[in-house]
Structure 1
Amino acid sequence: MPADTAHTAPDLSENIEELNRLFALQKSAWAVAPFPSYDQRIASLDRLIRLTEANEEAFIKAISDDFGNRARQETLIAEIVVTISGARHAKRSLRKWMRPHGVPTPLHMLPGRSRIEPQPLGVVGIISPWNYPLQLALAPAAAALAAGNRVIIKPSELTPRLAETLRKAIADEFDERICAVVTGGVETGQAFAETPFDHLLFTGSTAIGMRVAQAAAKNLTPVTLELGGKSPAIIDESADLDAAARSIAYGKMLNAGQTCVAPDYVLAPRDKLDATADAIVNAARKMFPSIDTSHDYTSIISDRHFERLKSMIDDARDRGARIIEVGSSNALYPQRKIPLTLIVDPPNDAGVLKEEIFGPVLPILPTASTENAIDHINQHDRPLALYWYGEDNTARDKVLQKTVSGGVTVNDTLWHVAQENLPFGGVGKSGIGAYHGEAGFNTFSHLKPVFYQSRFSSGALLHPPYTEKTTKILSILRKFI
């Protein structure tokens, strides 16, 4: 995303020179030692955990300062704990993930044997976003380090304090030939995407993700793109409305809705439209009685994003939608806090229904049936997440089978992302590829297929010169294929 002037550090040529220096250094180091041992990889994961714990308070303060305000507990939950949990999961599982494993060998190729042997790719680049600037830098770094790679991280220019704190923390703990951070603005980001990494992971908007993919394609650099999209929350007729409302309110208000997997809009039964809005209002007021004085409620990251959200709300109001603000607007400036704003039954041409919201603005749309909800979702780009609420298993399974999304949580929001045994990724315009847990290890590895031929192989019987005997052997073999 383009940076706001107030948040952007000068994008000096020194940043790009530093990127080039680090990349050349890591490529040379990888050429000398392309397959780190299990102990070396564990040591890297230990360093990552240690720097996260040692700099916890500095990270919390830097992130809050970059946003304008973010609760310490929110950063602990969504950044510190998730990062450490993922790294520790990798440590526990690493020996199993690294181990070459056999796969079945066809009868006609016996007594040879076949194996998959995971191999590090080399140097991995990570472009991390501003909304969870620590977690979305270090979680993929942990996966890449577990897979035996070297890593360079480019944090967002919208969180310069966190970026600099992270740069220093990693420099203090890691040899820069293994892991390093390069800071800078849009020009550095463009140069980063054009660097011939062995794999590039980008987290951010779909529009910028397309540009990153195009830049990476110049070098045929494989990419993992964690993007966004309009993630629906479906309330079935069988749902506990109050429980669903509490979950949706929390998922939407965490980080003030600046979460790629936040529920973007709600699909509710037409006869429960008002009851759904009322239930979400009540749940939100219990969590955040007043955004004016509460340090629990996060600020919008920048003036530009703040104005974008306000314009969305104003556009929906001008088009006749019912607007419900859950909290006072007195804190709009200078804190850049927007209360949870429900937009009930907006018209189809409202901007709030066309673009990803990425803020505490929640449209609530009426649906006539499960099929109607499915049709609505399938008429749009495939979302990064989908949330379904209810007790009717038949209706649930119909939604799961007839929609395509990056991931799903049933009867809650967000939690599938926190499961290290579940891959996290998008589909279509919400992303390419996945990581977390073993999926992350595999993403940053070349799963090399290896066939070990036996000295007792009869393959030579198929070598030229071809004879009638060759034809007979082929005839027999075809019966076993």
Structure 2
Amino acid sequence: MPQARIEQPDMQASDMTALLERQRAAFRAEPDPPRAIRDDRLRRLAALVKDGRARLAAAIAQDFGHRSVHETLLLEAGPALAAIRHARGHLKAWMRPQRRASALEFLSVRNRVRYQPLGVVGILSPWNYPLFLALGPLVDVLAAGNRALLKPSEFTPAFNAALAEAVAARFAPEEVALVQGGVAEAEAFSRLPFDHLVFTGSTAVGRRVMAAAAPNLTPVTLELGGKCPVVLDGTWPLARAARDIAIGKLLNAGQTCIAPDYVLAPRAVLRPLAEAILAEIRAMYPNGAQDDGYTSVITAQHAGRLEGMVAEARDAGAEVLEAFAGDAAARKLAPAIVIDPPRDARLMREEIFGPILPLIPCETAAEAAAFITAGERPLALYVLSRDRGFREAILSRTQSGGVTLNGTILHVAQTDLPFGGVGASGIGAYHGIEGFRRFSHARAIAEPLGPVNPMHLARPPFGALAKLLERVFIGG
């Protein structure tokens, strides 16, 4: 069904600047809020998710055309609340100054690091998981004592309106506020002089965001994407592999930045693996494209791109197997397995971001590692093998943002593991303590103990004492 158009109240750049300055002024008045205030903000954020989950999920379903409420609650609201619980439970320890060692020549100095807020953080979030990818970074931003401006995607106007109302009901504009609008507003948002800017989205747009932030020397955290591989060897049961791959690939109809993008497996298992994956997909969605659990592609433009990729591969001679027929009117694409497509096909050059999965023949760990490292570093990597040596060979010869061994997706759901990319798949990581530190300034503090300051021994005029110290600390 077509999406109902929601008019977004666009905000002028001058209004964004005024809102930023309002938050900065509040931050200057309270530059290092105590734990009680941070905990209260996290508590209110949890209440926002819990109390508003039904409306927020319904709004997301409206924006997609169809998306199961259960998918939103399990994959977005649940992880957001888990992150909040984790932050609240560990906040006291995170905020505690850390003792650091003193070198031999400075034994009379006490060193520590104190983590203090950066100030105002901007969060540019995407459309594919609009709730979790807006509030996930916000959890860490608030735990670190900052204030935040949110700018969600223009592709989710119904959700944006619902979230804006929910945020305004729980937070003063000086704490958290939301900016709505389209591409022009997002570009203006990127150019604001934030103390930190978080962007989740495509690599191409990430480059533009980083360029926009550069004149202000705004540090950025970029969570991008890339072609996330699954590497399967002959030791792992085909049925288990098929189930994990199908789950990871078909969540949100493949519109997931860490979804398996392609599979590397021995040629002999490609066809049986494809059949097993298709069987798992049919079991997950027994009513095919009409199944309530199967999500629509976000827009007709996105759906057309995916259909074009499949058509190109089929025309080039690749075998295409479909789990069930799609529903073009509802933008529900037929889940497709593409066996051994040409390496120069768009399916193999671009991040797919939809329910299409290429299977590529690959016989050894060395061959798999070479295939992966020939491209950009992915946001996620999956290795399915009982052979410890095989797994270690892949891990040691490749780089990726995160890894799940003998499964898919699992690593991103762990509240105490960092989430982030490397190279073209992103810059920086957050979640848990890594997020707290990402949005804090690690302030070094040195304090001499007692009457002796070691620097007094190294001052001019230089004479016998200087020569003695040189022999002791440098060597003769």
Normalised by the length of structure 1, the TM-score is 0.96
In the TM superposition, residue 464 of structure 1 has moved relative to its aligned partner by 0.5
- SS at 1:142's partner residue? helix
For residues 270-291 of structure 1, the C-alpha deviation after alignment (integer angstroms, 9 at most, x for no partner) is 1111111111111111111233
1:230 matched residue in structure 2: 227
Query: 1:5 deviation in Å?
Result: 11
Which residue does the alignment assign to 2:122? Answer: 125
State the Cα distance separating 1:318 from its structure 2 match.
Answer: 0.8
Q: Is the 8 A contact 1:141 1:151 kept in 2?
A: yes
What letter is aligned with 1:87?
I
Partner in structure 2 of residue 268 of structure 1: 265
SS of equivalent to 2:226: coil
Q: CA deviation at 1:236?
A: 1.1
Deviations 1:9-44 (A, max 9, x none): 4674x4433312210100111111101010000000
Within 5 Å, which residues of 2 pair with 1:45-84?
Answer: 45-84=42-81
Gaps in structure 2 of 5+ consecutive residues: none
Query: Who is 2:103 aligned against?
Result: 106
Q: How far apart in 1 are the matches of 2:233 and 2:135?
A: 37
Structure 2 distance, partners of 1:157, 1:52, is 21
> Is 1:346 aligned with 2:341?
yes
Residues 206-355 of structure 1 aligned to structure 2 (within 5 Å):
206-329=203-326, 331-333=327-329, 335-355=330-350
Is 2:30 the counterpart of 1:33? yes
Aligned to 2:403: 408
Amino acid paired to 1:321: A
Partner residue in 2 for 1:426: 421
Cα distance change on mapping 1:49 and 1:10 into 2, 3 Å = closer
Q: Secondary structure at the match of 1:292?
A: helix
Rounded Cα–Cα distance in structure 2 between residues aligned with 1:280 and 1:418? 23
Decide which of 345, 366, 369 is 1:371's aligned counterpart.
366
Alpha-carbon separation, structure 2, partners of 1:348 and 1:458:
63
Cα displacement (A) at 1:469: 2.8
Amino acid at match of 2:350: E
Quick check: 2:105–2:454 contact (8 Å CA) kept in 1?
no
Distance of 2:318 and 2:85 partners within structure 1: 47
| Structure 2 CA distance for aligned equivalents of residues 313 and 295 of structure 1 | 24
The Cα shift of 1:312 comes to 0.4
Task: Find the aligned partners of 2:439 and 2:423 in 1 and give their Cα distance.
Answer: 20
| Partner secondary structure for residue 81 of structure 2 | helix
Structure 1 distance, partners of 2:427, 2:336, is 31
- Partner AA of 2:249 in structure 1: K
Query: Matched residues in 2 for 1:458 and 1:200: separation?
Result: 40
Q: SS in structure 2 opposite 1:201?
A: strand
Query: Match of 1:397, as an amino acid?
Result: E
CA contact (8 A) 1:8 1:158 kept: no
Aligned-pair CA distance for 1:458? 3.8
TM-score (norm 2): 0.97
1:443 corresponds in structure 2 to: 438
Aligned length: 474
Cα distance in 2 for partners of 1:292, 1:456 equals 76
Per-residue CA shift, 1:203-249, capped at 9, x if unaligned? 00000000000000110100000000000011111111110100100
Alignment partner of 2:280: what SS?
helix
User: What displacement does 1:91 show?
Assistant: 0.1
Q: Secondary structure, in 3 states, of the residue corresponding to 2:66? A: coil
Instruction: List per-residue Cα deviations over 1:347-372 (Å, max 9, x = no partner).
Output: 11111000000000100000121111
Query: Do structure 1's residue 478 and structure 2's residue 458 form an aligned pair?
Result: no
Structure 1 residues 80 and 458: alpha-carbon distance in aligned structure 2, compared to 1, 3 A threshold: closer
Q: d(CA) in 2 for partners of 1:10 and 1:416?
A: 35
Structure-2 separation of matches of 1:349 and 1:419: 35
Q: Distance in 1 between matches of 2:306 and 2:142?
A: 38
Q: Confirm whether residue 397 of structure 1 aligns to residue 392 of structure 2.
A: yes
Aligned AA for 2:140? A
2: CA distance between counterparts of 1:126 and 1:194?
Answer: 12
Say if 1:70 and 1:298, in contact at 8 Å, map to a contact too. yes
Q: CA deviation at 1:461?
A: 2.0
Q: Distance in 2 between matches of 1:476 and 1:389?
A: 55
* Aligned counterpart in structure 2 of residue 202 of structure 1, from 199, 204, 216: 199
Of 69, 77, 93, which aligns to 1:96?
Answer: 93
CA contact (8 A) 2:8 2:161 kept: no
Q: 2:131 aligns with which of 127, 130, 134?
A: 134
Calculate percent identity across the aligned residue pairs: 45
